[in-house]
Amino acid sequence: MEAIDAKQVLEKVMAESLGLPEYEYIMKTICQTDVSKNMDFQRRFNHFYKVRRNQDWCKKYYKIFERSKAEKDEVTFENILCNIYVFTDKTEASFASKMLATLNPDKPIWDSRVLSFLGLKPTGKSDSDRQDSIIEVYGKIENWYKKYLNTSEAKANIRIFNEMLPCYSWSSDVKKIDYIIWGLAT
């Protein structure tokens, strides 16, 4: 009979409940594939990040994604947000941030749970005003992460994440805090 390793089993269950194996696939595959053509990557990214858009929108999104890979060191939230708007006629803050965070894991996600936790909400009636507000709010999210990651609380939370999920300690500190914030809302 095989011994039961509770730590290993619980780590696996916790990682799966957080979607960490999917996240690992996305992060390990992004630089090795053409995301505009790799349907498995798209399916898994869509599932992980809950992308529920039609095929035409997705085709445009993944073309922008693939082009952005070439500029990943210079690409910004504002640039991705505007590109998505130009090609899809939709302001997609959440999906712009998810693309950016995949290209640069030290960038935070725009997510309803993060916005709620930080007490942030974009304003604006026109597309232009709304986009300006979204860019400003995203800057506030980035600033919060920069400040928070230097606190003893953040360092303790990151240490706990690494202890509980050592197979995922490679994740960026920003992503670890994202997971913890997401857990607050469940």
Handedness of CA 40, 44, 49, 55 (dihedral sign): positive
Contacts of 6 by beta carbon, 8 Å cutoff, 6+ apart: none
- Residues 98-155 have pLDDT tens digits of 999 999 999 999 999 999 999 999 998 888 899 999 999 999 999 999 999 999 999 9
* Angle, alpha carbons 33-50-47 (nearest 5°): 50
How many C-beta neighbours within 10 Å does residue 24 have? 15
Assess whether pLDDT exceeds 80 at residue 72: no
Q: How far apart are CA 127 and CA 39, in angstroms?
A: 31
Taking the CA of residue 130 as centre, how many other CA atoms within 13 Å lie in the half-sphere pointing to its CB?
Answer: 10
DSSP-derived secondary structure letter, 76: -
Maximum separation of any 2 CA atoms in the chain, in Å: 66
- The DSSP call for residue 125 is S
Please give the structure tokens belonging to residue 141: 């999210």
Reported as a pLDDT band with limits 50, 70 and 90, residue 184 is confident
pTM for this prediction? 0.93
